[in-house]
Structure 1
Amino acid sequence: MAMTKEQWDQVEEEMRGQLGRVVLSLEGRELVLKKMFVKENQLAIVVFIDGEIQPACGFPSMECFDAFTQKVWRKSRVSLFKPSRKARIIKELGKRLAKQTFPDLDEKREYWVPEFRTAASMRRALHKNKEMELVHIGFKTETA
């Protein structure tokens, strides 16, 4: 059953805090969203697929690419040439010769990363999956 607006509001509220954990289910796979440090003094919402992160699964050029990452991770793009290098090439060769010599001068590569910077961006990306189900919000306490 698809998640309701109230459930999405609860998930977003949980992930806005300093620590948050949500377990979701999509297409029989478990997604764990955790708020954690990705850099020094920088928090992000990290999406674990079936309990693990394999960054190489987000690169379409890799053999281990998993198309499921396109549904649950954030899309990122990078230019093949930095703007300063591109400007230097065009200045030295001219536009026409630069395009002939470097046909991929304006190309950008897409890949998917397992982190979202804000709870709102996470919600916008995951809300597109209509079959998403909420399993658990918060941390479970283990009792012996």
Structure 2
Amino acid sequence: MSELKSQSITKEMWQQIEKEMSDGWVNIVFAYKGHELTVNRVRVSESKTCLQVYIDGFIKGEWVSFSGDKGFSDKAPAILPDVWGKKTRAKYNRRFKETMTRIWGKRGVKREYPDLDDSLVFHIPNFSKASVLCRQYKKLEGIELVSAHFVKAEGL
């Protein structure tokens, strides 16, 4: 990443960032641990959008892994779990669990399916709302704002 002029983020700036992300199409750039994070609003479907986070301009499928407990691969940048959203899903759905419990009984199902109550953990670059993204990013130590529309407008 090239050296970018950035500034630490105050409480008032977080409010402005959240408002800007909520409004419309956005392009906000953060700097975090030597990486450039770009947040854009992208189209999910015809009538639905979300905020998507790019790390150094990329989102790569090879970064995501469903094997293991981490939810990301060894090829992923070290900051990925900090800046992408963490999602969990049950390994087996409720209906399957109930059916197997009826068939095997409470003790038998634990013998046959020891991982029945396990969940899958993975990280995705999408955030449904600006408040969710801001809540997660406020906790990051050392994150700095590089560019945003309101910064250009106010001349900060």
Whether TM exceeds 0.5 here: the answer is: yes
Indicate the residue corresponding to 1:45 in structure 2.
Answer: 51
User: Which residues of structure 1 form unaligned runs of 5+?
Assistant: none
1:130 deviates by: 2.1
- SS of the aligned residue for 1:6 comes to helix
User: Which residues of structure 2 form unaligned runs of 5+?
Assistant: 1-6, 66-70
C-alpha contact (below 8 Å) 1:2/1:130 kept by paired residues: no
1:111 deviates by: 0.9
C-alpha contact (below 8 Å) 2:37/2:53 kept by paired residues: yes
RMSD: 1.9
Q: 1:65 to 1:29 in 2, by over 3 A?
A: closer
- Alignment counterpart, residue 5 of structure 1, candidates 11, 35, 39: 11
Indicate the residue corresponding to 1:29 in structure 2.
Answer: 35
Q: Distance in 1 between matches of 2:64 and 2:134?
A: 19
- Alignment counterpart, residue 134 of structure 2, candidates 100, 113, 123: 123
Q: 1:107 to 1:66 in 2, by over 3 A?
A: farther
Counterparts of 1:1-144 in structure 2 under 5 Å? 2-59=8-65, 60=71, 62-138=73-149
Indicate the residue corresponding to 2:4 in structure 1.
Answer: none
- SS of the aligned residue for 2:8 comes to coil
Q: Distance in 2 between matches of 1:65 and 1:79?
A: 24
Q: Give the count of matched residue pairs.
A: 140
Q: Distance in 2 between matches of 1:104 and 1:61?
A: 20
- SS of the aligned residue for 1:120 comes to helix
After the TM superposition, which parts of structure 1 deviate over 2 Å for at least 4 consecutive aligned residues? 58-67
- SS of the aligned residue for 2:44 comes to strand
